[in-house]
Amino acid sequence: MKRMMKGFTLVEIMIVVAIIAILAAVAIPNFIKYRRSSQATACVSNLKQIQAAKEQALMAGKTTLDAATLYGSTGYIKVEPKCPAGGTYTIGDATTDPTCSYSETDANDTSTWHSLDRGATSTGG
């Protein structure tokens, strides 16, 4: 009577592990890229929100544009926006745009840009 075989051989397990390693090697860099890209997009959205709050504060006659004026229950944004990548925002004055400390760290990779002029093709704005 033939003996029943149970489980997998070492070679079979090694093949499965190799296939998983190849798939992970392809997927992980893409995952990192898309994650960075979505963080930058969310950051730009926050910067637009801060810019809108600044403009609203200026319209209301406020002269100081700081965190105490813009954020909170008496400000123009209820909760202070945070950069999803961990950058910090500089509100700036009436003539400048708000900026993120992570703005344009890599000129060749726009997925790392945390800047309001992201993707701008002309200077006319």
Report the run of H or E that residue 100 belongs to, with start and end: strand 99-100
Q: Which of 43/65 has CB closer to Zn ion?
A: 43
Q: Which of positions 54-93 make contact with Zn ion (CB under 5 A)?
A: 83, 87
To the nearest whole angstrom, how small is the minimum distance from the Cβ of residue 44 to Zn ion?
8
51 φ/ψ angles, rounded to the nearest 5 degrees:
-60, -45
Q: Which of 83/91 has CB closer to Zn ion?
A: 83
To the nearest whole angstrom, how small is the minimum distance from the Cβ of residue 99 to Zn ion?
9
Q: How many residues does the chain have?
A: 125
To the nearest whole angstrom, how small is the minimum distance from the Cβ of residue 31 to Zn ion?
19
Number of H helices, E strands in the chain: 2, 2
How far is the C-alpha of 89 from the C-alpha of 42, rounded, in Å?
13
Q: Which of positions 94-113 make contact with Zn ion (CB under 5 A)?
A: 100, 102
Neighbours of 118 (CB within 10 A): 16
Can you tell me which of 43, 70, 91, 116 binds Zn ion, judged by CB under 5 A? 43
The contact set with Zn ion (CB under 5 A) reads: 43, 83, 87, 100, 102, 114
